[in-house]
Amino acid sequence: MKALVAIKRVLDYSIQVRVKPDQTDVDLAGSKMSINPFDEVAIEEALRLKEAGIVSEIVTVTIGASVAQDVLRHALAMGVDRVTLLETDTAPDSLGVAKLLAALVKDEQPGLILLGKQAIDDDAAQAGAMLSALLGWPQASAASKIVIADGKALVTREIDGGTQTVQLTLPAVISADLRLNDPRFVKLPNLMMAKKKPINTVTANSLGVPFAARQQQVRVSEPAQRPAGVLVKSVAELVAALKAKGALQ
């Protein structure tokens, strides 16, 4: 079975987010960019399924400008078999991503699609469910355990207040939560070798699906700052301060 893993290049999770002074967007200039952490978990899961003999080939795809090659190299260094860049300078929204991936699925015919449950930049958490709907394949979001046997995926997923287990008939779309696994550390020699591997670059426009964002970002602003608090010296002062704020019922 072939697994398709969709990944996104985002501002590295450890980098402090800055809003541009003109409030048009977040300032990414010169900042370290990395693979979305949830997508890295999705890759790791595909690798483990391959090591278990369930997945035979792993294809990783990302959508973006040519700079997005770096996250595909990271995927190659982790051990995926092939990578595809759907190249575009126009950032699609989640619906556009889902449409492009659905078009790619027609060519690749994977038995399983893995991706992160959300990207840590726009936090939309839409692409997996949208892709599942467009393909008419079953979905499981926020997976923390995946067991595949007999053409079915038994997925434990994180839901409000607990976990849920569902059984999906493959092919299916599964989005990864952080607790699914701990992605392997990429060794330097693997990273060097990954630089020599080919990247299949396809112009996103050539897939013949409209993917331009349907929503405009009007403004990006800093979140409202909370007023400065007080430091207290003792528990007695803490209790008094809580009472003064009416926080104790």
Partner 1 sequence: MSTLLLADHDGHQLKKATLQAITAAQAFNTPVDVLVLGSDTAAVAAQAASIAGVARVIAVSAPHLAHLLPEDAAAIILGQLNAGYTTVIAAHTTLGKDTLPRVAALRDVGMASDVIRIHARGQYERPIYAGNAIATIHSDEAMQVLTIRATSYAAAAAGNSAEIISRSAPAAQAGSQWLADDHKISDRPELATAPVVVSGGRCLGERFDEVLAPLAARLGAALGATRAAVDAGLAPNEIQVGQTGTIVAPELYIAAGISGAAQHLGGMKDSKVIVAINTDPDAPIFKVADIGIVADLFDVVPELTRQLG
Q: Could you say which residues in the range 6-65 bind partner 1, by CB under 8 A?
A: 11, 13, 16-17, 19, 26
Contact 6, 113 (CB under 8 A): yes
**Nearest residue (CB) to partner 1, 80 versus 146:** 146
| Shortest distance, position 247 Cβ to partner 1, whole Å | 4
DSSP letters, 40-71, are: HHHHHHHHHHHHTTS-SEEEEEEEESGGGHHH
Q: Which of 65, 133, 192, 193 binds partner 1 (CB under 8 A)?
A: 133
**Nearest residue (CB) to partner 1, 73 versus 183:** 183
- Span of 74-82, 83-91, 175-183, 191-199 interacting with partner 1 by CB under 8 A: 175-183
Query: Would you call 161 helix, strand, or coil by DSSP?
Result: coil
Contact 102, 95 (CB under 8 A): no
| Shortest distance, position 227 Cβ to partner 1, whole Å | 8
The answer to whether residue 211 forms part of the interface with partner 1 (CB under 8 A) is: no
Distance (Å) of CA 84 to CA 61, 93, 98, 206: 5, 19, 15, 14
DSSP-assigned letter for residue 207: G
| Shortest distance, position 154 Cβ to partner 1, whole Å | 8
Contact 78, 187 (CB under 8 A): no
Residue 43: closest CA among 89, 14, 6: 6
| Shortest distance, position 196 Cβ to partner 1, whole Å | 34
The answer to whether residue 161 forms part of the interface with partner 1 (CB under 8 A) is: yes
The answer to whether residue 106 forms part of the interface with partner 1 (CB under 8 A) is: no
Q: Which of 29, 149, 188, 247 binds partner 1 (CB under 8 A)?
A: 247
- Span of 67-75, 80-88, 104-112, 120-128 interacting with partner 1 by CB under 8 A: 120-128
Question: d(Cα 167, Cα 182) in Å, to the nearest integer?
Answer: 23
The answer to whether residue 149 forms part of the interface with partner 1 (CB under 8 A) is: no
Question: d(Cα 120, Cα 133) in Å, to the nearest integer?
Answer: 22
- Span of 49-57, 61-69, 186-194, 228-236 interacting with partner 1 by CB under 8 A: 228-236
Q: Which of 42, 141, 146, 204 binds partner 1 (CB under 8 A)?
A: 141
Question: d(Cα 233, Cα 40) in Å, to the nearest integer?
Answer: 44
- Span of 42-50, 66-74, 155-163, 186-194 interacting with partner 1 by CB under 8 A: 155-163
CA 150 from centre of chain:
27
10 Å CB burial of residue 16 (0-12, 13-18, 19+) is: exposed
Residue 193: closest CA among 79, 54, 47, 108: 79
| Shortest distance, position 18 Cβ to partner 1, whole Å | 9
The answer to whether residue 236 forms part of the interface with partner 1 (CB under 8 A) is: yes
